Amino acid sequence: MGLTPTRITTDIEYDRPGRQLGYLRLIHSDNRHAFSTIPIPIAVIANGAGPTILLTAGNHGDEYEGQALLHRLARTLDPKRVRGRLIVLPALNYPAVLAAARVSPLDDGNLNRAFPGDADGSPTAAIAHYAETVLLAMSQGAVDIHSGGSATVYAPSVYLHCGGGADLLRRKLAGARAFGAPYTVCAKATSDSRSMSAACDRLGVPMISTELAGGGTIDPAALEIGRAGLTRLLVHFGVMDGEAPAGHMHSTRLVSPLGAQSSVMSPTDGIFEPLHEVGAEVRKGTLAGYVHPLGELDRPSLAAEFAHDGIVLVKRVPALVRRGDYLYRLACEIDEKSLFA
Ligand SMILES: [Zn+2]
């Protein structure tokens, strides 16, 4: 990590009450941005004593439900409903958002693999560094809203990184239950240490992430699950006053992603014809879909089967596939006790 505190500047005054809409100014000098800065939109809504909660979307640029939710929240949430402070960034990796891409076109940076970042590093590293050392460092809770992106669609889920110790995990599970998505995916503590979730574990900040739907568009049903769930979570965190909405509330099912061996891979190059949607319950041997080898009319279509019992958590979106591409990923239901064993 560099010695510079941060090169990102802002006119936002984090301690000022009321609503402020502004920018983080990311310095990057290339052919396109010789003397300019890249303006990452940020809102701060503060009112009196209470916790600071960081809300982010656009960590990956092509995941849209969270960007829509937070853009609206930043403009419309009445500051009088806030107890403490909300810091809202609907397009955290703004260069990736502008490019409609998962990663930044400036440096190929995947922000969710860039933590703890580097103030003197590439644009993506500088954003990660600011998020960890400035934004998360002053937060008592965080919500990072993801979706499946252009390539995949997820069953609407809260996504928990199960690191940071038992006490932090209990607080994250309580937050997930308040959110009330149909599924809560519990990912192993050993998953990537360069993610924002891992940064939160290092800082002891309970972080609730999501995978709302995806496919490079906005799923209206997933958006409503996200909107109601986020409001309930903010009431649960104690940063928002008033009634928690009762709609779109699920008694969330805890699931664990099954390993790579339970993912269905394409048996050949061709066009994928899926037979199931996310949320489907399937058995070992259930037909998952067909891959049609379009370049060879004399070759029959190949069937792909599920190799395990499970719930379809992720489905591939683009029809054109190469041999080995993932078509589906499964999860299995788990007991809360198994997370603390
Ligand atoms: Zn993502």
| Average pLDDT over all residues of the chain | 95
Span from the CA of 18 to the centroid of ligand 1 (angstroms): 30
Q: What is the pLDDT of residues 80-91, one digit of tens each?
A: 999 999 999 999
Give distance in angstroms: CA of 35 to centre of ligand 1: 31
The predicted structure's pLDDT at residue 1 = 47
Tens digits of residue pLDDT in 106-121: 999 999 999 999 999 9
Report the alpha-carbon distance of residue 210 to residue 143 in Å, rounded.
8
Q: How many Å lie between the centroid of ligand 1 and the Cα of residue 131?
A: 16
Six token digits for residue 52 = 């600071």
Cα–Cα distance between 283 and 261 in angstroms, integer?
15
Residue 280 has pLDDT above 90, yes or no: yes
Provide mean pLDDT across the span 11-34: 92
3-class secondary-structure state, position 262: helix
Instruction: Give which of 28, 170, 167 is closest to 95, Cα–Cα.
Output: 28
| C-alpha of residue 144 to centroid of ligand 1, in Å | 9
Check pLDDT > 60 for residue 92.
yes
Gap from CA of 155 to ligand 1 centroid (Å): 14
The most distant pair of C-alpha atoms in the chain lies apart, rounded to whole Å, by 71
Mean pLDDT, to the nearest integer, of 268-281?
A: 98
Ligand 1 center–CA 76 separation, angstroms: 25
Alpha carbon of 331 to ligand 1 centroid (Å): 18
pTM for the whole thing? 0.95
* pLDDT, position 273: 98
Which pLDDT belongs to residue 31?
79
Q: Is the distance from CB of 50 to CB of 80 less than 8 angstroms?
A: no
Which residue segments constitute the domains of the chain, with CATH numbers given? 9-255 (3.40.630.10), 261-339 (2.40.50.100)
In the reported structure, the alpha carbon of residue 156 is separated from the centroid of ligand 1 by a whole-number distance in angstroms of 13
**pLDDT at residue 2, rounded to an integer:** 52
Residue 166, pLDDT score: 95
Q: From ligand 1's centre to the CA of 296, what distance in Å?
A: 36
Cα-flanking dihedrals φ and ψ of residue 47, to 5°?
-160, 105
Which amino acid would we find at residue 77?
L
Q: What is the Å distance from ligand 1's center to 108 Cα? A: 15
Judge whether residue 125 has pLDDT over 90.
yes
pLDDT of res. 86? 98
Cα-to-centroid distance, 60 and ligand 1 (Å): 5
- Which residues have C-beta within 8 Å of that of residue 78, sequence separation ≥ 6? none
Mean pLDDT confidence for 278-286: 97
**Tens digits of per-residue pLDDT, 229-259?**
999 999 999 999 988 899 999 999 999 988 8
pLDDT (average), residues 115-130: 96
Which residue, among 70, 131, 119, 127, has the nearest Cα to 103 in the 3D structure?
Answer: 127
| pLDDT value of position 3 | 65
Question: Would you state the pLDDT for residue 243?
Answer: 87
CA-nearest of 264, 70, 72, 65 to 181 is 65
What distance in Å separates the CA atoms of residue 99 and residue 95, rounded to the nearest whole number? 6
